[in-house]
Amino acid sequence: MNDQQTGRLPDMSSRTIAFIGGGNMAASLINGLVSDHYDPHRIIASDPDGEKLAGLAAMVGIRSAASNQDAIGESDIVVLAVKPQMLKTVAADISEQIQARKPLVISIAAGVREKDLQSWLGGGVALIRSMPNTPAMLQAGATVLHAGPGVTEEQKNLAESILRAVGLTRWVKNEDQMDAVTALSGSGPAYFFLVMEAMEQAGLDMGLSKDTARLLTLQTALGAARMAMESSDGPGVLRERVTSPGGTTEKALAVFEDEDLRGLFQKALFQARDRSVELSSLLGEQ
């Protein structure tokens, strides 16, 4: 196995990481890093919510900073973990420290394009944009990264190591593909929740108890995902294996095909992708 498969971090023992923002995703990354034996004293977090920050520091033993500027002052890597609509203001406030320190900057803010963030930070920044999804909060996330101009291979490895603490990672060469990523994995958990919701309701309508319908739905989803992850075959092959000719599964799948479920998914994801493009433009214009 390679490091990406085992989740081991490369040697980052001399690196100090600043998290600007202490919300759920930042907390997930911090917890993942500490669980992977990263020194919590080399992690600094800042957040305007002092109570949240104190709770995070007490939970995993990281350091807290009185301000964003203080957090950046001794850091080699800065993770921007604030809401997208707040990022322009935050970036302008820390641009002087970023220019003086020249850290690697990793943004996990959805929809904020690199050219806009570079402009807000003063330009010339080693910048990596990432798109984690919400299962990262359970260390089961899928994160896609894109490296801007001037980012070194070492810096890419550092960024991947941090994001790999909450799940699998993939890189894209073209930043425009991040909009497709947003549509597929960023919004993707909601699609599966909708399918689970519909299956649970169908179970109820067929006379199953609520607990039974829910548990069967959730375990089936979990089992199917594990089978797909652990198999070398694609989902189409796995689907065919559990579809007996003339059986119940074939009957159900025929309804999905007749109602053009594939076409609905394609239409839905393209709509999400296009909306991601629109929102990115709006954020850049603010």
177 and 192 co-located in one domain: no
pLDDT greater than 70 at residue 115: yes
Mean pLDDT of all residues in the chain?
A: 93
Give the pair of three-digit tokens for residue 140.
């089961």
| Residues 211 and 234 grouped into a single domain | yes
Same domain, 164 and 195: no
Count of domains observed in the chain: 2
Instruction: Classify residue 27: in a domain, yes or no.
Output: yes
Q: What are phi and psi of 168, to 5 degrees?
A: -80, 160
Same domain, 217 and 142: no
Considering the domain architecture, whether residues 34 and 170 belong to the same structural domain is answered as: yes
Answer yes or no: is pLDDT of 8 > 60. Answer: no
Task: Look at residue 286 in the predicted model and tell me its pLDDT.
Answer: 66
Residue type, 222: L
pLDDT at residue 11 in the model: 62
Q: What is the CATH number of the domain that holds 251?
A: 1.10.3730.10
Residues 130 and 18 in one domain: yes
- d(CA 42, CA 77) in angstroms, rounded, equals 10
Instruction: Please report the pLDDT score of residue 36 as a whole number.
Output: 86
177 and 256 fall within a common domain: no
Domain membership flag for residue 286: no
CA separation (Å) from 258 to 184, 194, 251? 24, 20, 11
Structure tokens that stand for 245 in this block? 């000719």
The last residue of a domain, from among 164, 181, 198: 181
245 belongs to a structural domain: yes
105 and 223 in a common domain? no
Domain assignment of residue 174, given as a range: 3-181
What's the pTM? Answer: 0.88
Among 122, 152, 181, identify where a domain stops: 181
The confidence score (pLDDT) of residue 4 equals 43
The pLDDT value recorded for residue 9 is 46
Residues 9 and 67 grouped into a single domain:
yes
- pLDDT tens readout for residues 44-93: 999 999 998 998 889 899 999 999 999 999 899 999 999 999 999 999 99
Confidence of residue 285 (pLDDT cuts 50, 70, 90): confident
pLDDT at 106 over 60: yes
Q: State which of 124, 148, 181 marks the end of a domain.
A: 181
Residue 26 belongs to a domain with what CATH number?
3.40.50.720
Tell me whether residue 10 is in a domain.
Answer: yes
Tokens 């829910």 identify what position? 214
Rounded CA separation 270/99 (Å)? 38
DSSP string, 116-168: HHHHHHTS--EEEEEE--GGGGGT-EEEEEEE-TT--HHHHHHHHHHHHTTEE
Rounded CA separation 120/59 (Å): 33
Q: Are residues 27 and 169 in the same domain?
A: yes
